[in-house]
Structure 1
Amino acid sequence: MDQTGLSPLSFVMPPDGRQSETARAIQRGALRYLAARGLVGVPEFVLASGRRADIAALDGRGEVWVVEIKSSVVDFRTDRKWTDYRMHCDRLFFAVGPDFPVDILPPDAGVMIADQFGAGVVREAPHHPMPGATRRAVTLRLARTAAGRLMGLMDPDGMRGIEL
């Protein structure tokens, strides 16, 4: 408990509602993996391009990772928006379930195998550093999104009119 009398675990984000059970399990495992590596992740993060990354994460040095969740082969083959994510991150990963055929994933992205309990990296993502101005913009957007979501959990009415 902190000085407000609230436990840090008092706030729980409600499910987004757009993901399947499989995608939610992969998301949970990927977020746990990121946390174990010292990264903090923001699910359903809207990039400056208007695209929505499944997870955007930030490490202590300011490196940004984007994790694209693929819950099935059909999901992978029909959704090609992930190619736009490279300009908004330093590393791009796919997170997939244990039965996903990883050999169909592009070789120039990292691969995580995840379930609801955790994840493991089976292929590291290449490092392709963002330009400084892009890094600043993405980091600021991540900070505002995360802080806005926390504020919204604490006081939903207080967030009216705030654009994230």
Structure 2
Amino acid sequence: MDDTERDLERAEQEYFGPRFLARIHARLHQNPVTSILTKIVVTTVGVLVILAGVVMMVAPGPGILGLIFGLAILSTEWRWADRWLDAARDAAHRAAEKAREMDPVVRRKRVAVLAMTALLVGLLVYAVIDAHGWPHFAVEGWDWVQGLSGVVPELPGMPR
């Protein structure tokens, strides 16, 4: 057994995420450059999914599932996220049990409020786009994003 195979086996044993990803994980962490890039990408994606989950906690959407999915992504690289994932799963199970025990009338009212909120948000977005005009609104939005960072590319075919 050569050094590469031995390193892969050791990395697979130390991996604390889903087993079917262990070999890919070990390969990505063989090289120091791909190792740090993997950590950066996984951390960025995981944090973005968690932030989306936090937003969905107050907005319509499956917030707890977003948090769990983000922690699952982070747990492929970080042990602390694996511990937090277990706690989040427990919270999700408790929330599901509480929802099952909820009075059906209350549940229907909450679903109706959620649907009305989603409809109102959709109408508000439509009204803003309709008032500003879609092409103009999109180009102004892109210009605003470019003003935040100089690395954002120009829109194709748009003069500066």
TM-score, normalised relative to structure 1:
0.32
More helix by share: 2
TM-score, normalised relative to structure 2:
0.33
The answer to which structure, 1 or 2, has the higher relative contact order (CA under 8 A, 6+ apart) is: 1
More strand by share: 1
| Greater Rg by CA | 2
